[in-house]
Chains A and B, each alone.
Chain A
């Protein structure tokens, strides 16, 4: 039966990794369930309608996924620089005419859609670096080959930091650094760069908003302010922990429902899951992510060219860092730096971007079978 299915699928829709698709779409569907179940009967009308909006984003995301899966990845390869340039312009526009929400200027309004260029910049940066390293694959032993990638990372980072969106800026840095290290950037240069970064950190600190400074401080001194910035963490720890082994059950996430958890549909969505389905549910989620990541890592390891290797590795890094930081943040072992959980957190740009990333993985996967 299994073999037969595989056979048919390969014949009719060759090389689609259905389990990868199932994992991604499953996570997205779960996100709708959590957003719905944590909105509660007494939440605002707006909050109560969000699960439907998220479902809409997912449908669009699936189309985006299919698109990136079908379009030959060489096309994407050829668009790496224009895409990056386009998003830089978009980031510039955000700084100039962007919509402000939650204390930061992050969105570009196009009609009734609000689009967050910084989210897409993550994927664009991965593709850009992949192309760059493939173009310069023979010079990887020279340290100065890494100078341009560093600049290409720092420019969008600066824009994002100015919004201010500390989380996305950190993500750009982590993604890029991960890729550079795999590409052979010596750790000692990295340490050097880190030292340089630490030297300018006080300057960057100056650019942070008070709430961001608070969040960093509260991470270092967690009990500093249980009702202020530490409140989020304290509440989410209660939400997660109160789920126990099997959770409080569907729709019974009182902590997450009753606004005790701010951002319970975006950055703190994991708490809603952990409260409803407990340790078992949380473990299940982490296993699905682990599966997704292992698929990506396998693609990277087995890649036949640097472009697909860097792209799939970059996508894995992006998702891995986001999962680790986000769950770490919700459970109180990481600072609160607005980083969404891939495919689960509410948000159109994030959903679309992650779906595109999965689509890209599928595309690479598909092409492996062509050999």
Chain B
């Protein structure tokens, strides 16, 4: 037996098994080939399409929002570039060195930076955010040392900025990401998650103009979502600028006057309806929303009992109190049930059936005519007048003057106020009682108005019977100052009230300031017409919610000059007390600012001593 044969015999079992192994290996390779056939030939086209979708992404480039100016071209809302600092660890050949240099620029600890960078290594989230909103000095330094800082990048992000902070915040609104709830509603179906939009006030109402047209980039991205190549780019178009009717200077004066109080103030031009100032206090800083808001800030804003997020001028519904006496007077005059000369005697009380209604002044005012009654805001006089006019005529005049319906400013959330419906159910059947009429006649009970309605009503009285729609945006312009849209005054209606009667009431309103309850709005050299109001805070007393103050809401409405009105004002101070005492001085400081009059040097104690403390 040769050696060869001996070996082959001896190894025969191994060789047999090796042959089996060879067959198995061949079979396995064949399976792989079949698998590749299935993937590459049978499914090739489908997977090829998939591979295309996999790498192309449309990346929106948000357009900068338009600017907002006041009537004197002063910037009220702008965009500031915020630079965010990012690191791409994969592009840093020497993390140690780069972070050390970076730490020098940022004046921070290199260890902390290095840690953040290495944490981002191999991250699925792309570049690591190192620092948000770095200042200009750092931006300059990083640009300068760019070559020594591989993998370090700055990204620009426009941040909506309100240079005046909380000034006019509730009117201007704020900008924030569209919320999950909004995305679900039909109105926002064109919005992408994460897209920012105007969320309140003017920012919201005029969002379509301000937001501009977002651009887009067709980019190639890798599996980490990191952009690796720009394929196509459509530049974003900046939003249009808004020019408001607001006067920033007046606005600031008004805010100062209402500082520390809770309430609202609106000033309009009575013969156009343009809003000159609109204050709601307390306010909030809309800049908070441009940055990412902390839950704590949000809780603080929404949990505040004074509702800083609310625009009280539009959303606050207050019992008008004595400012409603203007309506009652007009109703009685319209009906012919009184003349300016009609006198009622006031002894401090008025009985109706078994009810006794009181005047605010103990002992009463004595005999008064209409002018004196308005000037002194005599309740007894207007109880009588209300009964004579009847609730039907009172509500008709109220509705004519725009009460009980939204003013039409167009900002969201505007309240309607309450004006009682025409009584159809007789008192016997539990309907409207004469007592209700008496209460309504002095602006209590089933009557509420918003400060916006109040100022438009006063404007209509001031301008001789034209009810205007309030407006706040004068025009919309492109960046090149090309006018896109221009707005003007819009008459809601010529009120169906005899102009002579309006003149009689204006007469009374002048007397309010010159000799009545509104003495604190008196300005030498300016004929101011006004009406005070001190409205009982019914809901508080009823509900007993005791959220601190239960003092009455203080009202003051005014216009000036009385013979040629240039400005109309409504002020309400929540739980402020007497309107003549609290609200009238606020209106006065506004008038002084508007007519650029020197602030009258008038010590506070003199004011205290004035006789007409009442309503």
Contacts and interface: CB of A to CB of B under 8 A. Distances in A.
Contact of A297 (B25, B40, B222): B25
B45 A244 contact: yes
A282 B90 CA distance: 31
Nearest to A239: B51
Nearest to A240: B39
B476 to A, nearest CB: 42
Given A45-B91, A242-B44, A278-B40, 20 more contacts: A45-B93, A182-B18, A238-B54, A239-B51, A244-B41, A245-B44, A254-B51, A254-B220, A259-B222, A261-B223, A274-B36, A279-B37, A279-B40, A286-B36, A289-B29, A294-B22, A309-B18, A316-B25, A323-B32, A333-B35
| Closest CB pairs A-B (n = 5) | A241-B47, A44-B90, A42-B228, A259-B222, A242-B51
A161 interface: no
Contact of B14 (A40, A183, A244, A262): A183
6 contacts: A182-B14, A241-B46, A258-B221, A279-B41, A306-B11, A317-B21
Q: Size range of the interface on A?
A: 35 or more
Interface string B412-427: 0000000000000000
Given A46-B93, A184-B13, A254-B55, A301 B40 contact: no
A241 B43 contact: yes
Interface string B345-358: 00000000000000
Given A181-B17, A328-B32, A245 B51 contact: no
Interface in A243-262: 243-245, 254-255, 258-262
Interface centre among B19, B29, B91 (most CB of A within 10 A): B29
B7 to A, nearest CB: 6
Given A241-B46, A242-B50, A313 B40 contact: no
B383 to A, nearest CB: 75
Interface in B103-161: 150
B224 interface: yes
A33 interface: no
B55 A258 contact: yes
Interface in A29-47: 40-47
Interface centre among A42, A241, A317 (most CB of B within 10 A): A241
B473 to A, nearest CB: 46
B48 interface: yes
A300 B220 CA distance: 51
B28 interface: yes
B222 A260 contact: yes
Interface in A317-341: 317, 320, 323-324, 327-328, 331-333
B157 to A, nearest CB: 23
A320 B41 contact: no
A76 interface: no
Contact of B36 (A238, A283, A297, A323): A283
A244 B48 contact: yes
Given A182-B14, A182-B17, A258-B221, A328 B40 contact: no
A364 to B, nearest CB: 14
Contacts of A235: 54, 223
Interface in A41-83: 41-47
Given A241-B48, A258-B228, A331 B55 contact: no
A294 B143 CA distance: 60
Nearest to B36: A282
Contacts of B228: 40-42, 258
B223 A327 contact: no
A213 to B, nearest CB: 20
A229 to B, nearest CB: 13
Nearest to B93: A45
A324 B45 contact: no
Contacts of B54: 235, 238, 255, 260
Contacts of A323: 29, 32
Interface of B: 7, 11, 13-15, 17-19, 21-22, 25-26, 28-29, 31-33, 35-37, 39-41, 43-48, 50-51, 54-55, 88, 90-91, 93, 150, 220-224, 226, 228-229
Contacts of A182: 14, 17-18, 21
Nearest to B37: A279
Contacts, number: 151
Contacts of A282: 36, 40
A178 interface: yes
A303 interface: yes
Contacts of A320: 25, 28
A45 to B, nearest CB: 6
A344 interface: no
A237 B220 CA distance: 20
Contact of A262 (B18, B33, B223, B226): B223
A5 to B, nearest CB: 28
Nearest to A305: B7
A137 B39 CA distance: 46
Contact of B22 (A240, A244, A297): A297
Contacts of B28: 320, 324
Contacts of A293: 25
A10 interface: no
Nearest to B224: A259
Contacts of A255: 51, 54-55
Contacts of A19: none
Contacts of B35: 327-328, 331, 333
Nearest to A44: B90
B90 A47 contact: yes
B43 to A, nearest CB: 5
A148 interface: no
B369 to A, nearest CB: 83
Nearest to B17: A182
A313 B14 CA distance: 10
A260 B228 CA distance: 12
Interface in A280-309: 282-283, 286, 289-290, 293-294, 297, 300-301, 303-304, 306, 309
A254 B7 CA distance: 54
Contacts of B43: 241
A332 B39 CA distance: 10
Given A184-B13, A242-B51, A244-B45, A331 B22 contact: no
A308 to B, nearest CB: 11
Contacts of B90: 43-47
A177 to B, nearest CB: 12
A184 B12 CA distance: 12
Nearest to B50: A238
Most chain A CB within 10 A, of B25, B54, B229, is at B25
Residue from B35, B40, B223 with most neighbouring chain A CB atoms (10 Å): B40
Interface in A134-184: 178, 181-184
A44 B45 contact: no
A238 B41 contact: no
Nearest to A299: B18
Interface string A210-248: 000000000000000000000000010111111111000
Contact of A286 (B11, B32, B48): B32
A110 to B, nearest CB: 22
A261 B54 CA distance: 11
Given A238-B51, A240-B36, A258-B222, A245 B41 contact: yes
A237 B47 contact: yes
A260 B21 contact: no
A293 B24 CA distance: 12
B17 to A, nearest CB: 5
A178 B24 CA distance: 12
Nearest to B220: A258
B32 A324 contact: yes
A26 B511 CA distance: 108
Nearest to A320: B25
A244 to B, nearest CB: 4
A40 B229 CA distance: 11
B366 to A, nearest CB: 86
Given A259-B224, A261-B223, A42 B229 contact: yes
